[in-house]
Structure 1
Amino acid sequence: KYFSHIHNHTSFSILSSTIDINSLIKKTIEYKMDAVGITDYGNLMGVFNFLNKIKINNDTENKKIKPIIGCEFFISDNYLIKKFTKKNPDKIYNQVLFAKNKNGYDNLSKLCSQGFIDGYYSGIPRIGKNLIEQYKENLIAISGDLNSEITSTLLNKGEMEAEKIFKWWKKLFKDDFYIEILRHGLEEEDHVNKILIKFAKKYNVKIIAQNNNFYIDKKDSNAHDILLCIKNCQKQSTPIGKGKGFRFGFPNKEFYFKNKLQMYNLFSDIPEVFDNLKELIEKIEIYDISNPILLPKFEIPNKWIQTKFKLNDINYENEYLKYLTYKGAKKKFIHLNEQIKTQIEFELETIKKIGYPGYFLIVQDFILQAKKIGVEVGPGRGSVAGSVVAYCLDITKIDPIKYNLLFERFLNPDRISLPDIDIDFDDKGREKIIQWVVNKYGKDNVAQIITYGKMGAKSSIRDTARVLNLSLEETDKMAKMIPVYGTGPNFSLKEIMTKDINYLKNKLKFEELKNVIILKKIFKKKNTLQAKILKEAIEIEGSVRNTGIHACGIIITPSDIKKYIPVAKTKDSNLLLTQFDNKVVEQMGLLKMDFLGLKTLTIIKETLFLIKNFKLENIPLDDEKTYELFKTGETVAIFQYESRGMQKYLKQLKPDKFYDLIAMNALYRPGPIQYIPNFIARKHGYEKISYDLPELKEFLKETYGITVFQEQVMLISQKISGFSKGDADFLRKAIGKKENKLLSNMKTKFIYGGKQNGFSNKILEKIWKDWKSFASYAFNKSHSTCYSYIAFQTAYLKTHYPAEYMSSVLSNNMKSIKDISFFIEECKKIGVIVLGPDINESEYKFTVNKLGFIRFGIGAIKGIGESSVKSILKERKQKYNSILGLIKKVDLRLVNKKILENLVFSGAFDNFKNFQRSQYFYEENGSNIIEKMIKFGGQYKKIKENIQNSLFKNIKDVEILTPTLKSCENFNLF
């Protein structure tokens, strides 16, 4: 008999299933099943990985599996309503639908998206039956479990009502409607199954057999139950049931992935269910859901087209890109020599060959717009800085020819792939440019990218321990025993418990190894609560716990994004959210832009505003005073160079040229940091600089003979072994990612090419060996150059405009009193005076006054928000001369007692004549003077508002008892 499981929930049925996609496929192969399906609750998040992993299996293994994509939707007649009561609750049913082909998948995707866009309520994406009617084409429906509309109606309203619902589904889906019989050993199922079989005979509907699976093996049932407890914030010791004092849980342990024999035995009395299932599966095609690369259309100005071309069928994008590039080149280069022209033409030809000139036009367009609306844009990020075209278009600000940066590191001419341009904006302006993109391309064509928060080793221990009622103290103790793997992710629990101590010894520090040994001992004590927690935590580790929003990724599509991928909505953003994560959206052919918010750019922008009439372009990169700052290691608040470790090395290195800073930026990272002492020693002549070949000096001279950058490897391979630019990039990737198969092929090519060019095998082998051990740590020179450039800008501003720069630094760290104190100390070190807050001079942020001193910002005082400060500043047309004078003017709803007290404490009123802070905290009859003043202010404002309707012509004619200050001994907090 034929059988395959098609009703499976994966970990993307969030906190409802322990099944991961790899285990699902592995079990399908083990049980020799021909197909497998996924039907997650209300979403398609796991679909791409599911299809991709099955494709990999089918391409490499003899056993082929048919993937079946489905979704278990939540149906509500009131899906557009977002408010319900206990007396009038929402009625939600589950409904499983499968896609027969790509068109069916598109309809599943649209239904799924609408569930989040229009029907999302109380954590549930709901759809209406009207939407199913609209998108039913090429979908298969099955009757479903006890929560489906048919079975739920049968149990709650009886057979007659259920039959009406049954007929509706039959009429809508005709032969693509099947009755699903489930036998998990439940009485309610037995009752429902009898009626469903009766309906099947009466209406000639075929029956299929399934098991509704939420975990792989029966032994996983307890881990699954723990997961449900985590979801519902319950202790496992609470009994399963309905009502107060009970919790939700599955009734038995039968919801697992059973083998064929088990399923045959369960349904031996109705053998036709297996043939019917085979028929259903045969209706489903194998299809690909990925798209060709999709770029939004860039609108080229009609005026330009009309002046340049007469024909309508010419590819305007390539020509317009060329026009803008050469237009920019004339501004960027004083002499547009043959070397520059040749490079430009090579890049334009490569861009034309891969077919994405529109990508560059789109990026330069929003960068141009950012500058127009006053958003600071970084000089570049990542490998795009190696492109002369990008430099000419003002996408980057670094001359790649001057710094020997490589276009092929950014875009491999031998491989068609979408370029990847990441852009840094000032963190305050990032939202403005995203909004501009939404306005230009349409809100239905722009989306943010989802992230999946998965349970790590520590969080799975903490969650499991909470459910199993272990004390917080013991839980914390266990979780903290999990070692951290360098700067990488935590070890998995499974790895800790299964790997040999000798393996772990090489990876861990001594203290970490001690903790792991303790954990292993705990794990072996089978009957303890802690051992049970570790065992179950291993099972739920890796489960999706929640979803979030990618920090910087934005998707832009040519038309409505719902045509290409399923989307969701979140309360944290007005934008749509992809259901696929960062890696998948790129594989799906969608244009992903990384819009990053960089606080340092905001600091630079605000510093320039304070300085007035100064442009960053005027900063000379050979400024001696700035290098003096780096040499002395006085790099607090300097981008990328402020850590204590970096300061220590800078004092030893004493950098005196920009190339030194670029190299240090690349070296000060895990791995290559070990080579910094050699780099320093070679610069100062303590260690001999040597080259394996004279030809290498050209590329390694600036880094004193050490291979620091990936670009150096690429250039050397071209020089020594005649590698093409594309092959040089493949080599760079192979070394960096340690891809052994590719490395082996590349080594053969490198040795052969080197020999052909007259170099000895011995030298070539040595170069290759050095590359394998050291160059795997080599960094992207383009990125290092860009970020070193930002660092130099910050260092120059700190050196030449210390008050303005440090004021901006303080303003951008106002949320942390610890950071404020730290940077004020730095101001003292460099001779910049920071004055306390003053109600008549301070602004919301830190500012520089006429004497060149930094004035403390009112917004940095604890407990004082921006709206309160705005009220104070709005009424400060003339200087305040007393607290009472301020109270008379400001909005007392915003500037309340607590705000006034904090202003007094901070010294903001200390410049008032005869002011004593202690007077304002003298209590009499249970209240202090500030409370009395606020009361007075309320009366004063009320009378002032009503003065026009009063018999009095002037507020002075009204007698109000003005609070008087008591004489007190003064105190000072500073």
Structure 2
Amino acid sequence: MSAGFVELCAHSWYSFGAGASSPAELVDRAGYYGYPTLGLTDVSNLCGALDFVQECRSAGIGAVLGADLTVREGDRMGPVTFIAENGAGYSNLCRLISLAYVTGGRTTPVLDVRFLEPHAEGLIALLGDPDGLLAADISAGHWSMAEGRAKQYAGWFGAGSVFLGLQQHLAHGDTVRNERMSQLAERCRLGCVATNAPWYHDTSRARLHDSLTAMRMNSSLSEIRNSLKVNCNYDLQTRDVMEQRLRKYPESLTNTLVLAERCSNFSALDFVTSSYRFPDVPTPPGHDAQSWLERLCEESAARRYGGVDRRVRERLDEEFELIRKHGLAGFFLVYHRVVELAREVMLELGWGHQETPLEWLPPGRGRGSSVSMLVGYLIGLSHVDPLDYGLALDRFLSSESTSMPDIDLDFPRDIRERLILRIIEEWGWDHAVLTGMFPTYKARGVIRGLGKALGLPPDELPGYAELVKRPGWDRLFALADSLQGFPKGVAQHPGGMLLSSTALTDFMPVQPAAIAGRYIGQWDKESVDDAGMQAVRLVRNRTGVEPDLSRIDYREKDVFDDLGRGDTVGVFQVESAAQMQTIVRMHPEDIYELALESPRYALA
């Protein structure tokens, strides 16, 4: 009778410098093999977790999430695999990964063993990796040390949540190690679990996996031969192959199904969606978020318009009602607080004066549909008066809106660099992080990196296009084609940040950035553009008057006369040769005509 098997410990290209397949490729192959469930345990990160979950959902396959972490015990260290059984386990896994980076090292994360016991709830620990401490102990015949370690993990995680892994890649030592692991499991009354711990979905990627390893170690394949896998059997295998290779240990195969079932009621995507909370902003005594936001807007409106007339009153009441209905008062106050912090930085840089109202000289620039909100204009999120331009609310927020509104705030580089640190200081490194991004391999970098891995002459690389048919070079080009688009690692987004009242480390690992004081979340977001406002300082220095940028006349005749003559050097978006020619022909007389002339130019 078939024992059954599902792979719980696959690695994707998010195991940077080792994984040689995308999550989609792994899921597609698992579906082809008829797997009801697939597990992903990338090295020291959950960067591909949500991508993997979505791929599994599309394929109708259950998703199990975990990670391989290097655990340090005294002066020894080795990998241990942790799998999240439920929400508590997923949160603990995120915290452990974060701790590995924060305390162990930004580029070589290592988790001290002392962190395991306090973060064991909801996690399943898989010991027995061929490179792990347990495997080393039993291989050396140190049974008492191995038994002590296994029982220690059982004490932390519970005997039912610790399993010894069995792997059979037809490599020297696999058979003996599996026999000893099985014996140790019996002595400690623990279960065994089978895994092929694949690094790619198909054997055709074995060479790419080796090359990635060499590139990560900045060496050639020949120089790191002892660090490479001994064969190409580290792919996602069929049930039949796994049942044949580990037929002496049928329980280890069945246990993969048992663990998959235990994890089946947990969805990381649903958990993350329900876990996130907007950051809290303190309000004065006697006010909640809604009443304080309304108070700020009323005071600003009095300054802006000289009072709250019927037109302003009707628009504010409409917006307040929408904000109240969708529970967005705290959302707007968070943005207001960010703008206040940016203003503090702006004043420190010598831009503006303390007595100038925030809404008069906002330090950042809102853009997109968010400029249609009068509330945003009044609390410094935008410099565009939506009443003056008759901007409708529906595109940004309506009574039928079901998703969170999107507010883009752009800051000058000098402000942004300091503001990032100020925000982290305000909310804490585990509540305020930079969004991650994943740079990918590009053609030239791929050729140079693979060329070194394959030991090809570096002096010939600049002319590689002529070498495609030479021996050795043909392998390079074949590998380069497979590698393009692979993520190289985690980098920081240029300016996007995540803020949360719930610790971000409850549902997303966080790691230090290359720049001191910054932290990166292990998920990526779309990029945002930079904006500049240094012209304000120049105007003040020359005229002694600080302009109210929120009251700029967008129909100023002298400005548009200059533009109509093609005098656009240094003017963003309209300084190219093509724009100079077009603007002279069209001679726009206000910002609306300018927007028609330049499709990229935006009112916001």
Q: TM-score, normalised by structure 2?
A: 0.89
3-state SS of paired residue (1:141) = strand
What is the rounded CA distance, in whole Å, between the counterparts of 2:216 and 2:31 in structure 1?
A: 31
1:633 aligns with 2:566: yes
How many Å separate the matches in 1 of 2:210 and 2:401?
A: 48
- How far off is 1:595 after superposition? 8.6
- Aligned residue identity for 1:662: A
Say whether the 8 Å CA contact 2:10–2:39 is kept in structure 1.
Answer: yes
Instruction: Tell me whether 1:347 sits opposite 2:319 in the alignment.
Output: yes
**Could you tell me which amino acid in structure 2 is paired with residue 660 of structure 1?**
E
* Larger CA Rg, structure 1 vs 2: 1
Distance 1:282 1:657 in 2: 64
The answer to which structure has the higher helix fraction is 1
In the alignment, the residues of structure 2 paired with residue 370 and residue 200 of structure 1 have an alpha-carbon distance, to the nearest angstrom, of 58
CA distance 1:380–1:168, change in 2 (3 Å) = closer
The residue aligned with 1:723 is none
Q: What amino acid maps onto 1:784 in structure 2?
A: A
**1:288-687 correspondence to structure 2 within 5 Å:** 288=267, 289-292=271-274, 293-302=276-285, 305=287, 316-333=288-305, 338-373=310-345, 374=347, 377-471=363-457, 475-477=461-463, 528-582=471-525, 598=531, 600-617=532-549, 620-665=553-598, 667=599, 669=600
Work out whether residues 452 and 581 of structure 1, in 8 Å CA contact, stay in contact via their aligned partners in 2. Answer: yes
1:202 aligns with 2:187: yes
Change (3 A) 1:473 1:655: farther
2:105 aligned with 1:109: no
CA distance in 1, matches of 2:342, 2:47: 33
Q: Percent identity?
A: 21
1:6 equivalenced with 2:2 (yes/no): no
Residues 112, 566 of structure 1: 8 Å contact kept: yes
Cα distance in 2 between the residues matched to 1:473 and 1:413: 64
The answer as to 2:19 corresponding to 1:17 is yes
Match of 2:71 in 1: 75
Cα pair 2:78 2:131 within 8 Å, conserved: yes
- Structure 1 counterpart of 2:258, from 262, 265, 279: 279
Judged with a 3 Å threshold, the aligned counterparts in structure 2 of structure 1 residues 381 and 472 are, in CA distance, closer, same or farther, namely farther
User: Displacement of 1:344 after TM fit?
Assistant: 2.7
Say which of 225, 235, 252 aligns to 1:256: 235
In structure 2, how many angstroms separate the alpha carbons of the residues matched to 1:142 and 1:230? 29
Pairwise CA distance, 1:437: 2.7
Aligned residue in 2 for 1:26: 28
- Deviations along 1:707-762, one digit per CA (max 9) or x if unpaired, are xxxxxxxxxxxxxxxxxxxxxxxxxxxxxxxxxxxxxxxxxxxxxxxxxxxxxxxx
How far did residue 182 of structure 1 move?
Answer: 0.9
State the aligned residue count.
Answer: 582
Aligned partners of 2:511 and 2:520 also within 8 Å: yes
1:130 aligns with 2:114: yes
Query: Which amino acid is the alignment partner of residue 284 of structure 2?
Result: P
Q: Matches of 1:657 and 1:44 in 2, distance apart?
A: 50
Shift of 1:110: 1.2
CA distance in structure 2 between the partners assigned to 1:471 and 1:628 by the alignment: 60
Q: Aligned to 1:784, what secondary structure does the other structure show?
A: coil
Cα contact 1:96–1:143 (8 A) shared by 2: yes
Contact 1:209 1:274 in 2 (8 A): yes
User: Structure 1 CA distance, aligned partners of 2:554 and 2:93?
Assistant: 57
Letter in 1 for 2:541: F
Instruction: State the shift of 1:659 in Å.
Output: 2.4
- Listed as ranges, the matches of 1:883-894 within 5 Å are none
Deviation at 1:477, TM superposition (A): 4.8
Distance 1:429 1:52 in 2: 37
Query: How big is each residue's C-alpha offset from its partner over 1:411-465, in whole Å with a ceiling of 9 and x where there is no partner?
Result: 2432222222222223222233334433433343211111111224454344323
Matched position secondary structure for 2:488:
strand
Say whether the 8 Å CA contact 2:564–2:584 is kept in structure 1: yes
Question: Aligned with 1:56: secondary structure?
Answer: helix
User: Do 1:18 and 1:215's aligned partners in 2 also have CA atoms closer than 8 Å?
Assistant: yes
* 8 Å Cα contact 2:14-2:489 kept in structure 1: no
| C-alpha contact (below 8 Å) 1:7/1:38 kept by paired residues | yes
CA deviation digits over 1:282-306, x for unaligned, max 9? 222332331335111122211x53x
* Aligned CA-pair RMSD: 2.7
Q: Deviations over 1:359-411 (max 9, x none)?
A: 11222233244335526624532221111221222321212232233322222
One-letter identity of the residue aligned with 1:163:
E
- Does the CA contact (< 8 Å) of 2:588 and 2:597 recur in 1? no
Q: Where in structure 2 are the equivalents of 1:952-963 lying within 5 Å?
A: none
Structure 2: give runs of 5+ residues left out of the alignment.
Answer: 352-361
Partners of 2:340 and 2:322 in 1: CA distance: 24
Q: 1:145 aligns with which of 110, 118, 129?
A: 129
Q: What CA distance in whole angstroms lies between the structure 2 residues aligned with 1:36 and 1:559? A: 29
Q: Secondary structure of the residue that 1:578 maps to in structure 2?
A: strand
Letter in structure 1 aligned against 2:291: E
Which of 168, 174, 192 is equivalent to 2:159?
Answer: 174
Counterpart CA distance in 1 for 2:149 and 2:591 is 75
Any conservation in 1 of the 2:128–2:181 contact (CA below 8 Å)?
A: no
Cα deviation, residue 238, structure 1: 4.4
AA of the residue aligned to 1:298: V
Secondary structure in 2 aligned to 1:261? helix
Instruction: Name the structure 1 match of 2:199.
Output: 214
Alpha-carbon shift at residue 211 of structure 1 (Å): 0.7
8 Å Cα contact 1:69/1:99 also seen in 2: yes
3-state SS of 2:98 partner: helix
- For residues 334 and 528 of structure 2, the distance between their equivalents in structure 1, rounded to whole angstroms, comes to 13
Provide closer, same or farther for how the CA distance between residues 107 and 366 of structure 1 changes in structure 2, counting only shifts above 3 A: closer
Measure the CA separation in 1 of the matches of 2:426 and 2:413: 21
**8 Å contact kept, 1:291–1:564:** no
Rate the CA distance shift 1:333–1:565 in 2: closer, same or farther, 3 A: same
Give the secondary-structure state (helix, strand or coil) at the position aligned to 2:41: strand
Could you tell me whether the CA contact under 8 Å between 1:15 and 1:543 is conserved in 2? no
C-alpha distance in structure 2 between counterparts of 1:349 and 1:616, whole Å: 29
Q: Structure 1 residues 476 and 430 mapped into 2: Cα distance closer, same or farther (>3 Å)?
A: same
CA-CA distance at 1:191 after TM superposition: 2.4
Q: Does 1:43 align with 2:45?
A: yes
Higher relative CO (Cα under 8 Å, sequence separation at least 6) belongs to 2
CA gap of 1:222–1:28, structure 2 versus 1, over 3 A, is same
**Contact conserved, 2:213 with 2:228, CA < 8 A, in 1?**
yes
1:430–1:597 Cα contact (<8 Å) kept: no
> Counterpart in 2 of 1:66?
62
Where does residue 54 of structure 2 map in the other structure? 52
Does the 8 Å contact 1:468/1:533 carry over to 2?
Answer: yes
608 and 169 in structure 1: CA distance in 2 versus 1, 3 angstrom threshold: same
The residue type paired with residue 213 of structure 1 is: P
* Structure 2 CA distance for aligned equivalents of residues 574 and 153 of structure 1: 40
Q: Indicate the SS of the match to 1:545.
A: coil
